[in-house]
Every structure is written in structure tokens, then in C-alpha cells.
Amino acid sequence: MEEQNNRGYDPDIITLSDDDGKEYTFEVLDAIESDTGRYLAMLPVYDDPKKMLDDSGELVIVKVGEENGEEYYFEIEDDDEYETIADAFVDRLEDFFEIDDQD
């Protein structure tokens, strides 16, 4: 009996709200755990294909926190921490995606 793999691409999609209540949808590409915390690399998801084409394609990187048993995401404010994590994500993801490193 042949087993069929019907698993298609099932992206991890999250929706975040800014301080003004505007919602943004992202696809989580990867997660990294380090001594300083857990981080997600994401790309924006758009309903309108034109907006997707206009997007810069830059990774959005957030730090994951937990409060009262609930996860929340916030910007990495420390430049050195951000650079370290961004470099780690680029190293991990460049095998799967075409990444233009513009240092």
C-alpha cells in the first residue's frame, strides 16, 4: 500500500497590531533561540499582489517575550543584538531564499 503525502505548504501566519490598532500580517520564516531570547524572522503578507511587489522584501525580526503565559513580540532596540540576530537569520535562510546582502 502506497502512502501519499498530502501535506502542502502550510505557512505560519501571525497578525500583529501597532499602538494605533492597525493590523499587519506576517509569515514566520524561521525562529532562533539564543542566550538573549527567542527571535522570529518574518516577511509581510499582503492581500493585494501590487503591495507585495512594492514591498522591499526585507526581513522583519522581532524578539519574543512572555507575560502572564501569553507571547508578545517587540522590536529589538539594541543595535548590536539586532545585528547579531539578523546575521544569524541570514546565514540560516540564505540556503533557502535568494538574499541580497547589502553591507
Model pLDDT for residues 15-69, shown as the tens digit of each residue: 888 889 999 899 999 999 999 899 999 988 887 766 666 666 678 999 999 889 8
pLDDT of 2 above 70: no
Q: What are phi and psi of 70, to 5 degrees?
A: -115, 140
Q: Evaluate whether residue 98 is within a structural domain.
A: no
Buried b (16+ CB within 10 A) or exposed e, 61-96: bbbeeeeeeeeebeebeeeeeeeebbebbeeeeeee
How many distinct structural domains can be found in the chain? 1
Q: Evaluate whether residue 7 is within a structural domain.
A: no
Q: Evaluate whether residue 100 is within a structural domain.
A: no
pLDDT of 88 above 60: yes
Q: Evaluate whether residue 5 is within a structural domain.
A: no
Q: Evaluate whether residue 99 is within a structural domain.
A: no
Q: Evaluate whether residue 85 is within a structural domain.
A: yes
Q: Evaluate whether residue 50 is within a structural domain.
A: yes
Range of the domain at 73: 12-93
Predicted TM-score (pTM) of this structure: 0.73
